[in-house]
Amino acid sequence: MTPEELADGLRRRFDDVLLARGEVTVTVGRDEVLDALRALRDDADLRFTFLADVSCTDWPGRDPRIWMAYHLRSPERNLRGRLKVGLPEDDLRVASAVEVFPAADWQEREIYDFFGVTFDGHPDLRRILMPEDWVGHPLRKDHPLGGVPTQYKGAFVPPPDERGL
Amino acid sequence: MAAGVPDELDGAQVGRGTKAQRLRDDLLVVNMGPQHPSTHGVLRLLLTLDGETIVDLKPIVGYLHTGIEKNTEYRTWQQGVTFVTRADYLSPFFNELAYCLSVERLLGIEAPPRAQAIRVLVCELNRIASHLVWLATTGLELGAISMMLYGFRERERILDIFELISGLRMNHAYIRIGGLRMDLPDDTDERIRGYLKELPRRFDEYESLLTGNPIWLERNRGIGILDAGAAERLGVTGPMLRAAGVPRDVRKDEPYSGYERYQFEVPTRTEADCFARYEIRVSEMRESVGICEQVLDSLPAGPVMIEDPKLRWPAQLAVGPDGIGNDEGYVRHIMEDSMEALINHFKMVTQGIRVPAGEVYMPVESPRGELGYYVVSDGGIRPYRVRVRDPSFCNLPALPEMTRGGLVADVVACTASVDPVMGGVDR
């Protein structure tokens, strides 16, 4: 199955299907994530049985602010697909995919840790890479980057996003 | 899975005041790591023990988090290579390749054929080097000290070849967006061929040392079983999945960088234990030798970097009296001949390239499994987001499943057989 055929097939079921650079992206509403994941996994023609990756992107100042991206793989049909879900800034939560794909466990913990997204129904939602007492979510675009005080004339080297480069 | 744990020890069935409850009280919680010689870097395992039996195991990671993903967001696209190469430090070329392939897909360009072939060559050499380190450290942990010496000895020779090619033993930043930093030096072919000829004999030596060794068999066979169903469910890829009989390999299923041109097998085993993983990795090293030879036999001539001056890195590197630097002729060209070339050089070095807005996910087969890069661009001069789907990070959650019900000593064999590289896990 070519990406074009995959996109056409998915259009019959999902409203928002995008084919770009040979990659197929399905966008669904926040409440439909688990249903969509289950449908993609169980469909006899698609068989997206492997969850390769869960990640997200932060777009402060936009709505939705966080875009979740689930990267699925169908070994049987040799396909790849991406499922995207937007989360609004004032309510960064989405259903955990662990019950559909146990592989999502650590990856969702990482997103919780780095972006502060809450996964409802996750069995063990704790920080994973940052220390437990860390304040904030470091991969958000507005997380302060610090800067370096120097001894030379008391100069302060500003963080990279404030250097005007 | 709780094979080996008596039923009355199963948490759900413990009643108050029973004999089982008293046994429960004897459970011991032990920290293994983060500083422990056999946990492959700073990995901490929280063991719950009933005597010698593992009741539960929790991997705790994050001690080596260096913010590589975040860092790339504040550098130019080209600088990204020098960051991602440091993620999984045992397979730097794979990180570079996956990152560059992602950016190239966003740009809609392809590296020249010669660059693609050399990418395959360095990656396969890197696979051998990585598996050798795995074999060496696993040998060390399971009591085969001589294997440690042999493995690192052979790996050092590969690092010498990397130094010859890229100037650096590790963290090469050799694969660049649009091609390679520089072409192979003149005597590389000879050097690599000479070494490749020697390798299969070395592998025979390792196998004669380990495969029939009663201690090696005792420590590995039937240990850390992770069947295909559990492996897929938990998101496990690479040698661990192939040891469970699933012939999945990104190089074969979704060829990139011209892998479809080379003949090679994807070794599988069905035992799904630590021993099967050992056999897989040794077989993979033999296959990699074959791929390297095919690359050298069919190495196309031509440039190793795309021609487009708006995208290519504006340097021509050469080895000068003080190491690798810009070629004298090139420096003369931009400083004396062409103002436009100087402007272009300046703009490319300070700003770099612009990448059209969009997102891609690019997987490659690293020594540990599917290494995927999810790269998002907002059309600017820096990556908006670089997400590394590292196979070590995704394989490690299978460790509790593999060890539960086994013995403490087997935790060492199981952890080793996952081959986690903490630089990749924590990024």
- Bridge partners of A20? A23
Closest CA to B138 of B409, B421, B415, B407: B415
From first to last of its 165 residues, what are the pLDDT tens digits of chain A?
888 888 888 888 888 888 988 899 999 999 999 999 999 999 888 889 999 999 999 999 888 999 999 999 999 889 999 999 999 989 999 999 999 999 999 999 999 999 999 999 999 899 999 988 988 899 998 888 888 888 888 888 888 878 776
Closest CA to B40 of B392, B328, B326, B415: B415
Q: Distance between CA atoms of A139 and B300, rounded to whole angstroms? A: 42
pLDDT above 60: residue B369:
yes
A27 part of contact set with chain B, CB < 8 Å: no
Domain that holds residue A123: 3-139
Q: Which residues contact B207 (CB under 8 A, 6 or more apart)?
A: B282
List the single residue in A with minimal CA-CA distance to B373: A53
Q: Distance between CA atoms of B56 and B371, rounded to whole angstroms? A: 28
A16 or B23, which is more confident: A16
Whether the Cβ atoms of residue A83 and residue A40 lie closer than 8 Å to each other: yes
A161 part of contact set with chain B, CB < 8 Å: yes
SS3 B382: coil
Q: What pLDDT digit, counting tens, does each position of B306-360 carry?
A: 988 888 887 777 777 777 778 888 888 888 888 888 888 888 888 889 999 999 9
Per-residue pLDDT averaged across B356-368, rounded?
Answer: 93
pLDDT value of residue A70: 94
Residue A123 falls within a domain, yes or no? yes
Residue A40 falls within a domain, yes or no? yes
Residues in chain A closer than 8 A to B235 (CB atoms):
50-52, 101-104, 107
pLDDT value of residue B297: 92
Q: State the virtual CA torsion across B119, B174, B393, B149 in degrees, nearest 10.
A: 90
Q: Distance between CA atoms of B372 and B69, rounded to whole angstroms? A: 13
Q: Distance between CA atoms of A164 and B302, rounded to whole angstroms? A: 40
pLDDT value of residue B20: 57
Domain chopping of chain B, boundaries: 7-60, 68-306+353-426, 317-350
Per-residue pLDDT averaged across B184-189, rounded?
Answer: 87
Domain count within chain A: 1
What is the nearest CA distance from A101 to chain B, expressed in angstroms? 6
Q: Distance between CA atoms of B292 and B189, rounded to whole angstroms? A: 10
DSSP string across B292-338: HHHHHHT---S-SB---TTTS-S--EEEETTEEEE-HHHHHIIIII-
B217 phi and psi angles, rounded to 5 deg: -65, -45
Question: Which of A85, A129, A133 is the best mutation test for B, with the most CBs of B within 10 A?
Answer: A129
Q: Distance between CA atoms of B424 and B170, rounded to whole angstroms? A: 14
Looking at 2.40.40.20, 3.50.50.60, 1.10.645.10, 3.40.50.10800, the CATH number of the domain B68-306+353-426 comes to 1.10.645.10
pLDDT value of residue A50: 92
Closest CA to B326 of B310, B311, B342: B342
ipTM: 0.91
A99 part of contact set with chain B, CB < 8 Å: no
The interaxial angle of helices B274-297 and B408-418, nearest 10 deg, is: 20
List the single residue in A with minimal CA-CA distance to B108: A21
List residues in chain B touching A: CB distance below 8 A.
Answer: 61-62, 65, 67, 69-70, 73-74, 105-106, 108, 232-235, 246, 248, 253-254, 350, 358-361, 363, 370, 372, 374, 376, 384-385, 387, 389, 393-394, 396-397, 426-427
What is the nearest CA distance from B349 to chain A, expressed in angstroms? 12
3-state SS track over chain A = CCHHHHHHHHHCCCCEEEEECCEEEEEECHHHHHHHHHHHHHCCCCCCCEEEEEEEEECCCCCCCEEEEEEEEECCCCEEEEEEEEECCCCCEEECCCCCCCCHHHHHHHHHHHHCCEEECCCCCCCCCCCCCCCCCCCCCCCCCCCEECCHHHCEECCHHHCCC
Residue A163 falls within a domain, yes or no? no
Residue A66 falls within a domain, yes or no? yes
Say what the pTM is: 0.89
pLDDT above 70: residue B407:
yes
Residues in chain B closer than 8 A to A75 (CB atoms):
246, 248, 253
**Secondary structure element (H or E) that encloses residue B358, with its range:** strand B358-366
CA A1 to mean position of chain CA atoms: 26
Amino acid at A15: D
**Secondary structure element (H or E) that encloses residue B371, with its range:** strand B369-377
CATH of the domain at A134: 3.30.460.80
- Chain mean pLDDT for chain B: 87
Whether the Cβ atoms of residue A53 and residue A110 lie closer than 8 Å to each other: no
Closest CA to B139 of B47, B220, B34, B57: B220
Q: Distance between CA atoms of B64 and B344, rounded to whole angstroms? A: 38
Residue A156 falls within a domain, yes or no? no
Per-residue pLDDT averaged across B22-27, rounded?
Answer: 67
Per-residue pLDDT averaged across B129-152, rounded?
Answer: 90
Amino acid at B8: E
How do A118-120 and A93-95 pair as beta strands? parallel
Partner-chain residue, chosen from A71, A101, A110, that has the shortest CB–CB distance to B372? A71
What is the nearest CA distance from A138 to chain B, expressed in angstroms? 8
List the single residue in A with minimal CA-CA distance to B371: A52
